[in-house]
Amino acid sequence: MAIEAWYMEESEEDQRLPHHRNPKEFVSLNNLADLGVIYWHLNAKNYENDEELDKIRKERGYNYMDFLDLCPEKMDNYEQKLKNFFTEHFHADEEIRYCLEGSGYFDIRDKEDRWIRVWVKQGDMIVLPAGIHHRFTLDTGNYVKLMRLFVGEPVWAAYNRPQEEHPARKEYTKNFVGNVGVALEAH
Ligand SMILES: [Fe+2]
């Protein structure tokens, strides 16, 4: 089963709800790829001895690995942390997450700055490119176990929007959003 993604309805309701538009507007894997988002579905029960995972890690240089276990019982200030994850930001490197248990939402901005909600469940592994605006939340299941991968020593620094002059943001805009800004400036 492929990953599910959809355009979000803007709403002040609980961020853990699906926030579908009415009618629902789904987003394909190709649309996600156009934004630089890469996806695999792997066997999460076998992550310790998974040749497919090993191959991806080798090819992409993901030598660093650790785990995040997120749920109210294991975290102090769960509600506050949930809000912090939900602050729109980007990174200077890829954000690579592999869902081993539970589920959650990665929200990413499309080229027109609309929110796309990507529902990550057991076995889903996604790569968000450097410079893409995004945020994360758990869903109403309130549990996710994620594997984090990184090339070399991890840097988790987040740049909250807006920081359009940051090199990673400029590079992302150039590669995936196109020269919309340039065309506007020319007029
Ligand atoms: Fe992030």
The reply to whether CATH 2.60.120.10 applies to domain 4-186 is: yes
Ligand 1: distance of its center to the CA of 32 in Å? 16
pLDDT for the residue numbered 187: 45
What's the number of CA atoms in the CB half-sphere (13 Å) around residue 98? Answer: 25
At 178, the pLDDT band (50, 70, 90 cuts) reads: confident
Q: Does 124 score more than 60 pLDDT?
A: yes
Q: What is the mean pLDDT of residues 122-149?
A: 98
- Indicate the average pLDDT of the chain: 94
Say if residues 25 and 108 touch (Cβ distance below 8 Å): no
pLDDT over 90 at 182, yes or no: no
Q: Quote the pLDDT of residue 186.
A: 46
Binding site annotation covers 133?
Answer: no
| Residue 67 alpha carbon to ligand 1 centre in Å | 15
Return the sign of the alpha-carbon dihedral for residues 82, 170, 97, 126. Answer: positive
Global confidence as pTM: 0.93
Cα(73) to centroid(ligand 1), Å: 23
Is residue 13 annotated as involved in ligand binding? no
Give the span between the Cα atoms of 154 and 111, in whole angstroms: 28
Alpha carbon of 41 to those of 50, 52, 53, 112: distances in Å?
A: 12, 10, 10, 27
What's the 134 CA to ligand 1 centre distance in angstroms?
6
pLDDT digits over 55-98, tens only?
A: 999 999 999 999 999 999 999 999 999 999 999 999 999 999 99
Centroid of ligand 1 to alpha carbon of 186 (angstroms): 33
C-alpha to C-alpha distance for 77 and 61, rounded to whole angstroms: 34
CA distance 185 to 147: 42
Q: Is 91 annotated as a binding residue?
A: yes
> CA-CA distance, 24 to 150, in Å (whole number)?
34
The residue-averaged pLDDT of 36-61 equals: 98
Task: Tell me if 149 sits within 8 A of 96, measured CB to CB.
Answer: yes
Could you state, in order of their start, the residue ranges of all structural domains in the chain?
A: 4-186
User: What pLDDT is stored for residue 90 in this prediction?
Assistant: 98
122: confidence class by pLDDT, cuts 50, 70, 90:
very high
Q: Look at residue 179 in the predicted model and tell me its pLDDT.
A: 57
**Ligand 1 centre and the CA of 187: distance in Å?**
35
Rama region for 77: left / alpha / beta (φ>0; ψ in -120 to 50; rest): left
- 95 carries a ligand binding annotation: yes
Model confidence at 167, in pLDDT bands (50, 70, 90)? very high
pLDDT in tens, 8-33: 999 999 999 999 999 999 999 999 99
- The predicted pLDDT at position 2 comes to 78
> What's the average model confidence in pLDDT over 129-138?
98
